[in-house]
Amino acid sequence: MKKITLLGAGSGFTQPLFTDILNIEGLDEGVIGLVDIDEARLAVNVKLMRRVLDLMGKSKWRIDASSDRRKVLPGTDYLISTIEVSGVACVRFDNDIPMKYGIDQCIGDTIGPGGVMKALRTLPPFLGILADAKRLCPGALILNYTNPMSIMTLGAVSFTDQPFVGLCHSVQGNSREIAGILGVPYDELDWQCGGINHMAWFTKLGWKGVDMLPQLRAAAENPAVIEDFPIRTDLIRNLGFFSTESCGHFSEYVPYYRKRKDLLKLHCRPGYKGGTSFYADHWPTWRKDLDKRRQEMADGKRPIPLARGHEYASDIIEAHVFDRKKVVYASVRNTGLIPNLPQTGVVEVATLVDRRGFMPTFFGNLPEQCAALCRSNMAVFDLCAKGILGRDREAVIHAMMMDPLSAAVCSLTEIRAMAEELFAAERRFIPDWCAKPKKPATVVAGSLMSAFVRSPAVSRILPHRNLAEVSYPSGSELKLRKRSFQESFMNMHDELGKAGSALVYFSCRIKCSGKMELEARLGYDGPVKMWVDGREVFHDPKGTNPAGTDKAKIPFKVSKGTHEILVALDSNGGNAWGIRLRFLRINMKPGSKAKGIKTSQLPVIVGERRDQGVAAVSSMSARNVETRKSRGRKR
C-alpha cells in the first residue's frame, strides 16, 4: 500500500492532483496524506477528498491529515510540495516596491525582485521540511510544484540526497499550443525541448517525419498568432526558436520587453500575456474564488471533475509503482545534460521514470543565443540559492542585481536600495539574517558624511495641501512624535499607502561645534519641501519615484549650536512613502582635511538611538548598509 503525502494540502492543487492519482489503473488502495498549517482550509479539502473517494468508488483508500507534518510524513512513499509561504501578506510588497524603481512585473514569483523575495520566504522552511523527510521518510521520492521553481530545486538538490524533481506545466502546456498553431494532432507531434524552467526551448519539431520548425517560424508572421503570442513570436523571429511559458512570465526573464512603456505597449497584452501587476492585482481574488469553489464541491453543491488531467505527478507515481515507463519534463541538476549551461545549476529536460526512479536524459548544447539567455537567469538562481543556504545577505542582494530586467532599468545603487526596502517591508516573513543588515564597515578616516537620520520626530498624517502654498509650521503645530526607522529609508508605506493624498513632516536636529557649511543629502519619492531653522532651503514640486540616495544636494550654512531640519513630503496620491536624509560637511579648508577629520568637526544628529559615528564614503555610504535593532523593539 503506497502513501502519497501532499504538503500545502489546503490549496487548489489537492483535488486535481489526487484525482489524477486515483485514476491510475491498478492503484486500488493507498493512503492520502494531507498536511497544511491552515487548519480551516485543510478541513475543507479533507471533506472534499472524502467525497472524491466516494464518487470514484475508492473504498480501500484512507486519508491521514494533520497540520503537523511530522505526524503524516512517516511511511510516505511520494512527497509532493505545493506550499505557499506568506504569499497573500507579501504579494503587494513584491510587486509595488520594485514598481517604485521602475521594475514592471507581470507575475513576479519566479525571477526578479519578486522571485528572490518569494525564495527568501519559501526555501528556508522548505529546507526544514526536507530535513524532516530525511528522518521520517528517507525512501520517499520528492516532487516539488512550488515556485520559484529553479531556486527551490537548486536549494533542495544542494541540501538533500533524496530523489528530487521540480515539476511545472509549461512544457506540456506549450507543446499543445504549438500543435494548435501548426494545426496538427498533439499526439502526433514530436519535439525536443530543453533549457531552464520557464525558459526551455523547442529546438526540434516534427510531424510524420516533416521538420515543422520552418512552418512555426512562418506562423510567427501571422497577425492572429502574434496577438495570441506577442513575445514568443518575437523570440522565434529574432532568435529562431520558440520558448516555453506564457508571454507574461517570459517577459520578466529578459531585458527586452518591460523596461519602457512603449515596449510594454508593443509586446505585452493584458493578463498572462504580460499585463502590468497582473498577478498582484488578481491572485488574492483568485484564491478566494478557488476557496469558494472547493467549499461548494465539498458540500455537494458543485460537480467535481473526476477525469485524469495532465499533471506529471500521477505519471511519475504510475511509472515508479508499476514500472510503466513515462517521460516527464523536470527541473534537475545539470550533470552534463546541457553542456553549454553551468554544471552547478538546474536545467529542465526530458526525464525518464520507471521503477528505478528518475533518469534525466542528455539534451546536448542549446543554440548559443538561447543558452546565453538561460545563463543570465541561472546566475540569479545560483546567487539566491547560495545566499539562502549560506545565510549570506549580500549574495541575495547580488542575485537581484544580476536579474536581467532589474539591471535594464536600475543602477546597482538603486537595486540595493530596493532590496533594503523589500527586506524591511517583509521582515516578519524572511529569516533574521536577511532582515537585519550587517554592521557597518569600519569608518574611514577623513570621511565627511554623517550617518542617515533614522530616529526623527514625525507628524501624524495630515490633509493634503499644495506644498507651494505651505509655509514653515512650528513643531508645536505639528505635534511631532519620535519614531525609529530600522533602515536608511524612513518608510511610511503603511500609513501613506492607505491615506491617498496627504502630507507628512519629518523633523530632526543637528548639533554643530562651530560654523559649518553643510550639504543635506535628501532622497524622496514625492513632492518635497525642506526648511533649516524655519528658513526654506529646498522645494521640488515634481518629486517622484524612486527615492534614490542623495537625490538632492542642498547646501546651507549654520552657526555653532543646535539646528532644526524639517522636511514635508507630499504622498503623491499614495505613491510616495518616505525620505532618506544625511549631511555632508563641504568647503573645508584643505589644511583641515590634511590633518585628518575629527568627529567634533562634523554635524551630530541629535537623539539617535545609538552612536552611528561617521559613515564611510568608500564603504557604508556606497553600500547603504546599516545596523538595526532587534525586530522585537516597539516603535
Which residues does the annotation mark as catalytic? Answer: 169, 253
Note the residue count of the chain: 635
Between the CA of residue 115 and those of 165, 387, 435, what are the distances in Å? Answer: 19, 14, 17
Q: Residue 424: CA atoms inside 13 Å, Cβ hemisphere, count?
A: 24
**How is residue 23 annotated by DSSP?**
T
Amino acid letter, 259: K
* Helix locations, 455-583, DSSP H: 475-478, 493-499
Number of H helices, E strands in the chain: 23, 27
Q: Give the C-alpha separation, 522 to 529, whole Å.
A: 10
- The partner residues of 79 in beta bridges, in order of sequence, read 5, 142
SS3 417: helix
Name the grid cell of 330. 523536470
Can you spell out the DSSP letters for 300-329? TSS----S----HHHHHHHHHHH---EEEE
Catalogue the E-assigned strands of 404-534. Answer: 449-450, 457-458, 462-463, 481-482, 490-491, 502-512, 516-524, 528-532
Helix (H) or strand (E) holding 298: helix 278-298
Name the grid cell of 81. 510540495
**Main-chain phi, psi angles of 272, to 5 degrees:** -70, -5
Task: Say if CB 414 and CB 408 are below 8 A apart.
Answer: no
Between the CA of residue 105 and those of 266, 281, 403, what are the distances in Å? Answer: 16, 11, 12
CB atoms within 10 A of CB 617: 15
Place of cell 546565453: 372
**Main-chain phi, psi angles of 17, to 5 degrees:** -65, -45
Between the CA of residue 572 and those of 461, 544, 575, 584, what are the distances in Å? Answer: 13, 8, 5, 28
Residue closest to 44 by CA, chosen among 260, 299, 328: 299
Residue closest to 258 by CA, chosen among 457, 113, 362: 113
Q: Give the C-alpha separation, 471 to 12, whole Å.
A: 56
224 CB-near residues (< 8 Å, 6+ apart) = none
Amino acid letter, 4: I
Q: Give the C-alpha separation, 165 to 508, whole Å.
A: 54
140 CB-near residues (< 8 Å, 6+ apart) = 5, 76, 77, 78, 79, 133, 162
227 CB-near residues (< 8 Å, 6+ apart) = 269
**Main-chain phi, psi angles of 48, to 5 degrees:** -65, -45
Q: Give the C-alpha separation, 595 to 602, whole Å.
A: 14
Task: Say if CB 549 and CB 417 are below 8 A apart.
Answer: yes
User: Max Cα separation, the chain?
Assistant: 92
